[in-house]
Amino acid sequence: MINKAVNIGLIGFGTIGSGVVENFNLNLPLIEDKVGRKVVLKKIVDLDIATDRGVNVDPGILSTDVNDILEDPEIDIVIELIGGYQPALNFILTAISRGKHVVTANKALLAKHWEEVMASAQKNRVRIGFEASVGGGIPLLKPLNESLASNNIESIYGIINGTANYILTKMADEQRDFAEVLKEAQEKGYAEADPTFDIEGHDTAQKLIILTKLGFGVYIKQEEFHVEGITRITLDDIEYARELGCSIKLLAISTITDGELEVRVHPTLVDEKHLLSSINDVYNGVYLIGDVVGPVLMYGQGAGMMPTASAVVGDVIDIIEGMNCKIVKNVKYGPAKVRVTHVKDISDIQTKYYLRLIVDDKPGVLHAISGILKDLNISVDSVTQKGYGKEGSVPIFMVTHQAAEKNIREAVKYMEKLEMVKDEIVFIRLL
């Protein structure tokens, strides 16, 4: 047993912060036994220290002044759980500059300020724990960075936003409206403060930036890849996907072929036989392929108070174990990026596509559409016209064979100009 206690400061006493306190309340003896020393949650800082968080906490350790943590030389580890860019970034950089290790769940901040935060941590020889930033409670980032370090990662496919997955699952299983299910996800505490981050794919993109860095050694900014959310998915799409033997999932994809990396976020038709198709509700799943290990599926709760707290406290334990050995590893995140010669633009990818068109129900419509597809070298696998719609219009659902994205976009542009095409055309990529 080491005599000196480890002191922790927690910034942010919201949902996840309360989960962290609860995790310490539940399992402190287990945690202290694991690290072989006393672990003290010395201070909790939040602007609101009046609200009852429903967890047992000594009121004497609550403060509204962040300097009670940042300027306390006895605090060894700072947990940042306020989220967002500022003031979180300033707090993290200040903590690092004062030699404090940092644990954070802040994927938005890491995705945007990765290089600055990691460079500062290296310079000051402190550790950054960020397991909770992707996949909530799933042990994902450490296994990817450490346990799979002997592999060249070939592909990463992730369902990494619990809110979007919850919405798509409930829409499919209960034929419920998008807005109603979103409200429910917010009430359950899964959604971001601004839920557009969940449904427009930004939260997934931020997490994919971290996964891509760890998997391929490449730090890519969000503006540099295609990000598309689930707001245009209707119950009709979900139903037709089901008829095709697929479910619709918001996928984060990073995959490499001959040095060319594809990084993208979009709704995807996933075959029901694929493992990712059975990841439902708020659960997340990351399916990756390494050249040595083969396929691996990591699965668990990707959002919520206690699962995320589990990852945060796991990082705290890991950092204390490093402190015990006086090791501050110069942690390398991801392999050398020499394998990646080029990051592909979305317009250069090739895949199969699902298309939904709302058209007039009259002769010549399919002829006009298939003419456009033929001119752009797009071969159709199946077409179905459903006999319902508004004011004489009907939905047509199509699936193409493998096609070039740039040709699909071009075809959609031409088809939308046809008078008989009544609405915006929706296209969804297949896995």
- What is the binding site for ligand HSE (CB under 6 A)? 136, 161-163, 190-192, 198, 203, 302-303
Alpha helix segments (H runs only) across 304-404: 305-324, 365-375
* DSSP class of 345: P
Residues assigned a catalytic role: 207
Kindly tell me which of 108 and 357 has the beta carbon lying closer to ligand HSE.
108
∠ Cα 299 300 305 (to 5°): 155
In angstroms, what is the minimal distance from the CB of 27 to ligand HSE?
Answer: 22
Least distance in angstroms from the C-beta of 190 to ligand HSE? 4
Q: Are strands 294-301 and 260-271 parallel, antiparallel or unpaired?
A: unpaired
Q: What is the DSSP letter of 425?
A: P
Write the single-letter amino acid at 294: G
Least Å from the CB of residue 293 to ligand HSE:
26
Among residues 381, 384, 378, 383, which one has the least CA distance to residue 412? 378
Could you tell me the CA-to-CA distances from 161 to 103, 137, 250, 346 in Å, in that order?
A: 21, 12, 8, 21
Residue 17 or 162 with smaller CB distance to ligand HSE: 162
Considering beta carbons, is residue 9 or 302 the nearer one to ligand HSE?
A: 302
CB of 426 to ligand HSE, least distance (A): 23
Nearest to 282 by CA among 384, 373, 198: 198
Instruction: For ligand HSE, give the closer residue by CB, 12 or 162.
Output: 162
Rank residues 206 and 393 by Cβ distance to ligand HSE and give the closer one: 206
- Report the relative pairing of strands 128-129 and 101-104 from DSSP bridges: parallel
Rounded to the nearest whole angstrom, what is the least distance from the CB of residue 166 to ligand HSE in the complex?
7
Give the nearest distance from C-beta 311 to ligand HSE in angstroms. 10
Rg (CA), the chain: 24
SS3 34: helix
- 3-state SS of 348-385? HCEECEEEEEEEECCCCHHHHHHHHHHHCCCCEEEEEE
Those residues with Cβ within 8 angstroms of residue 302's Cβ, 6 or more apart along the chain or in another chain:
135, 136, 137, 138, 159, 160, 161, 162, 165, 282, 283, 284
Nearer to ligand HSE, 203 or 405 (CB): 203
Tokens read off for 238: 């979900």
Count other Cβ atoms within 10 Å, centred on residue 387: 7
Q: Which letter, b or e, does each residue of 244-271 get, where b requires 16 or more Cβ atoms within 10 Å of its Cβ?
A: bebbbbbbbbbbbeeeebbbbbbbbbbe
Q: Which is nearer to ligand HSE, 104 or 151 (CB)?
A: 104
Q: How far apart are CA 88 and CA 153, in angstroms?
A: 32
Query: Least distance from C-beta 303 to ligand HSE, angstroms?
Result: 4
**Whole-angstrom Cα distance, residue 312 to residue 19?**
9
Q: Of 304 and 389, which has the nearer Cβ to ligand HSE?
A: 304
Task: State how far the Cα of 280 lies from the Cα of 275, in Å rounded to an integer.
Answer: 11
Both structure tokens of 20: 């962290």
The nearest distance, CB 115 to ligand HSE, in angstroms, is: 22
Residue type, 284: N
